[in-house]
Amino acid sequence: MRASAAERNDYYMSREKAQILAGVVSVVVNIVLFAIKFWAGLVTGSIALMADAWHTLSDSITSVFMIPAAKLAARKPDKEHPFGHGRWELIASILMAFVLAGIALEFFTSSIERFQNRESGAITSTIALVITIVSIVIKEALAQYEFYLGRKYKNPVITADAWHSRTDSIGSVAILIGIIVARFIPGLWWMDSVLGVICALIIFYAAFEIMKEVVTKILGEEPKQEFIDELTIEVKNIYKKDMKIHHLHLHNYISHKELTLHIRLDKNMTVEQGHKIASKIEEMIKDKFEMDATIHIEPL
């Protein structure tokens, strides 16, 4: 079913609103959780809880990026930016990844120093146990909400923030396991430092995954086979013979996508005939896949 220009505009307006909503919800939830975890870290002296608290605060910091990024990405194309401003979302994701990596490095080095100095925190306290469980439940719920919005609106910024929330939840799970183990096995003075290192590695991994996805989009994507198969079926409805579609490249500007491809037509066709077929295919791609296509014709 074809989407009208008005429907596409409504979609991208909703996409912007969803990103702002996700950012606001994430900021509020994370600031509250940070305050609780930070207090618990001070009371218990646990580096793992402190690391987890600052990781939670980093969630709110990166979520703040989502709001201006949504406004910038929603701007219409202009003379200087004919493909729109959608890649502001990718820039916001890059900033998120760098913030995550910086936080991970800080807590990795802090944990190593505490291990070398044989320092320990009250990781086995009831306070640490209760707050960690509460954090896991809340952060996973927030992650699921953001993953839903990210999938619905195909928004990499919301998805990146969801992964940020997910890593916070996973980090808290690691701390919870450590708390339970340390409560049953006394004398594990190094447990807090080890948990701090685990949290740091989880944060590093999240930063890597976010950056990898962004770089893929910036460099240009090879269309997925599922898309190629669907496109081939649609093309055959226009040109019954096998024209051997190949050399497909997708240029993703987030709010605007460009597809380039090669097709092979009967070499006895006139230029006008080949042009008409290519134009029909371009119109179909625009209507069905919401992409602007540029087609190069080769003789078969």
CATH of the domain at 67: 1.20.1510.10
- Amino acid (one-letter) located at 280: K
Most confident of 40-49, 114-123, 141-150, 248-257: 141-150
Q: Following DSSP, what letter does each residue of 119-133 receive, concatenated?
A: ----TTSHHHHHHHH
Q: Dump pLDDT digits (tens) for 85-122.
A: 666 677 777 877 887 788 778 778 877 877 777 665 55
pTM of the full predicted structure? 0.56
Query: Residue 141: what pLDDT?
Result: 92
Task: Give the confidence band of 2 by pLDDT, cuts at 50, 70, 90.
Answer: very low
10 vs 272, which has greater pLDDT? 272
**251 plus 276 within the same structural domain:** yes
Pick from 193, 219, 245: which residue ends a domain? 219
Helix (H, G, I), strand (E, B) or coil at 87: coil
Cα–Cα dist 243/299, whole Å = 10
Task: Name the nearest CA neighbour of 234 among 257, 272, 263.
Answer: 263
Under 8 Å between Cβ of 84 and 256: yes
* Averaged pLDDT for residues 61-78: 66
Q: Dump pLDDT digits (tens) for 115-170.
A: 777 665 555 677 778 888 888 899 899 989 988 888 887 777 778 778 778 877 87
Task: Give the confidence band of 1 by pLDDT, cuts at 50, 70, 90.
Answer: very low
CATH number of domain containing 275: 3.30.70.1350
129: burial class by Cβ within 10 Å (0-12, 13-18, 19+)? middle
Phi, psi of 32 (to 5 degrees): -65, -45
pLDDT at 232 over 80: yes
175: domain range?
5-219
Between 109-123, 171-185, 246-260, the lowest mean confidence (pLDDT) is in: 109-123
**DSSP type of residue 186:** T
**40 plus 125 within the same structural domain:** yes
Phi, psi of 234 (to 5 degrees): -65, -35
